[in-house]
Chains A and B, each alone.
Chain A
Amino acid sequence: MTALLEIVGARKAFGGVRAVDDCSLTVEEGSITALIGPNGSGKTTLFNLITGYLKADGGEFRFRGRDVTGSDPGRLYRQGLTRTFQQARVFPHMTVTENLVVAGGYSWRDLLVPRVLGRDRSRADVLLEEFRMTHVAELPASELSYGQRKLLEFAAVLMSEPRLVLLDEPTAGVNPVMIDTMERHIRERHAAGVTFLVVEHDMQFVMRLCDPVVVLDNGKEIFSGPPSEVQQNPLVLDAYLGT
């Protein structure tokens, strides 16, 4: 396997707090890598650094072998690196179909073409079918349940055919049936060749789905390995339980 995403020595401080402190991390192509750690360990900050929402104080970020340090989120998106947000951010006043089409990655030349072209619609329909959301295609996203919005956000980032998707707590706040649905969609997309980096607090979900598991504590990677080993590692136990 080759490294799809490589982070070397990433640093980010907020005032005196070193949220991410000399952190190095590799996501292998074709993996579903979990990123776990206690609250305040820097997971969300690291996500924001990787996706360009925050600028790192130092360190190097490589995606698909290219240096992408300092790229903005739009540019990374067009290169195949995308994310979802913990709070399921969709565009509430736009229809479900429009939410997908707007994420379809159109170029400058396409700005004057109609909002939703025939080919946009057929691409969106394929995804809606896959996510079993065809019946809500023309509803405004504000009328969806929270779980459906999470699915919609996930489906929308797939419109650009990404190589790496970062999922920020995909199961937080959704019911058990929806957790299974989410897991199934991640597996299907993984089988189709998408790599995932997942921040998640639901350990059963992580153990079922992810390999390897990366543990972060105080802004540093303290463990990286298969899920079977993570529960026995003394450093990890120490980070979670404290001494």
Chain B
Amino acid sequence: MSIRSLVRGGVFVAALMALPLLGFEHWVLNLMIFTLMYAAMSSAWNLVGGFAGYPSLGHAAFFGLGAYFVGLWFQHHAVVTGYEPFLVLPIAGLIAAVVGFPIAWIAMRTRADVFAIVTITLLFVAQTLAFNLDSLTGGAQGLAMPTPPFELARFEWPFYYAMLWILLASMGITYLSMRSKVGLSLDAIRADEDKALGVGVHVQGVKVLSFSISVALVAMAGGVWAYYETFTYPQFAFDPIITIGMVLMCFLGGRGTLWGPVIGAFILVPGQQYLAYRLGGSQFYLIAYAGVFLLIMLLMPRGILPTIADRVRRRRAIAASSEGPPPADASPPTAGPGSNVPVPSGGAA
């Protein structure tokens, strides 16, 4: 880990840890909770959609699964201190991972657009089940959670920190996988899966594992969300907008990078709220939202981070070639130019 990435990570974590202490108003913290939630989920989605190259549109099914799990758990258990729902989050994650494993095993036999369609079907199946399994989920009536017994001045804090922990877990897992042979395998799978299979990469295992871990993180975010909202309805817990949000933020910031999904979420979530506020309660803001997104995709089709990293690298290459002697392209006997040529992998780390 380089000093620079350590400092960058440290400042990021410290700033987010300290933010609630600065006495912001409730609406700011509310906005931050949703920003962190989407950052965490987009970062988790990135493991499958960005690194493995499997554009899942079904992740909201696992968001809803986590939400309903926490909702159902507290139909039978009491909330006393107010922190109990956070303690069951690991169970929600584990259940999502276990449910996600066989689903991924089958769905990941398809690729690209077909995989996207198969997974979005999963989302609608899950929503339909939530609507119709009345005796379990309460159907369209929804599930009520106990009201969190936190003091009003600091009401948002526990939710804020829970979302922050899930975000840090997502980023930590992403960082570790990028640095390990998991990341190497995922890179190979994304680039050319058939070739990867032919050189002995554990293709099926690695991609199914990354899906499982990804949906576990998303389910934990869903669990926190259910408690924060105190009401869970099928149409909001299994909302295609949630899936699309994760995907868009990851595309915007840069797929397959550590910081891309986080940057995407920090731009889009407040941006969406601002547009909704300016354009009123109608759905007009969604059109403006789409417009912003189209503009960025037009200018930076690979996302913000890879585009900037490319520009920096090109400028450095130009600077390097205008200074010293031009790098030899034959085969120099010494260390050669390879040692100082920037490599794209980990460029955003």
Residues of A within 8 A of B (CB): 51, 53, 72-74, 77-78, 82-83, 85, 89-95, 98, 101-103, 105-106, 108, 110-116, 132, 134-140, 156-157, 160
Contacts and interface: CB of A to CB of B under 8 A. Distances in A.
Contacts of B176: 112
Contacts of A111: 180-182, 185, 202, 206
A91 B345 contact: no
B200 A93 contact: no
Of listed A92, A101, A135, A160, residue having the most chain B CB within 10 A: A135
B205 interface: yes
A62 B121 CA distance: 42
B332 interface: yes
A12 to B, nearest CB: 17
Interface stretch (B82-90, B155-163, B190-198, B243-251): B190-198
Interface in B315-349: 331-332, 336-339, 341, 343-345
Interface of B: 176, 179-185, 187-188, 191-192, 194-203, 205-206, 331-332, 336-339, 341, 343-345
A156 B199 CA distance: 8
Contacts of B198: 51, 53, 73-74, 77, 82-83
A9 B75 CA distance: 64
Nearest to A136: B338
Contacts of B203: 74
A139 B338 contact: yes
- Interface on chain B toward A: helix, strand, loop, or mixed SS? helix
A74 B206 contact: no
Contact of B341 (A82, A85, A89, A139): A139
In the A-B complex, the 9 residue pairs with the closest CB atoms: A103-B199, A135-B336, A138-B338, A77-B200, A73-B198, A91-B191, A89-B195, A105-B200, A115-B184
B101 to A, nearest CB: 16
Contacts of A78: 200
A102 B199 CA distance: 8
Contacts of B187: 91, 93-94, 98, 102
13 contacts: A74-B197, A82-B199, A85-B195, A91-B192, A93-B344, A98-B187, A98-B345, A102-B187, A102-B199, A112-B176, A112-B180, A115-B184, A139-B343
A108 B202 CA distance: 8
B199 A114 contact: no
A192 to B, nearest CB: 20
B180 A115 contact: yes
Nearest to A89: B195
Contacts of B181: 106, 110-115
B277 to A, nearest CB: 41
Given A94-B188, A102-B185, A138-B341, A108 B195 contact: no
B184 A135 contact: no
A114 B203 CA distance: 18
Contacts of A82: 198-199
Nearest to A135: B336
A53 B194 contact: yes
Contacts of B344: 93, 140
Of listed A83, A111, A140, residue having the most chain B CB within 10 A: A111
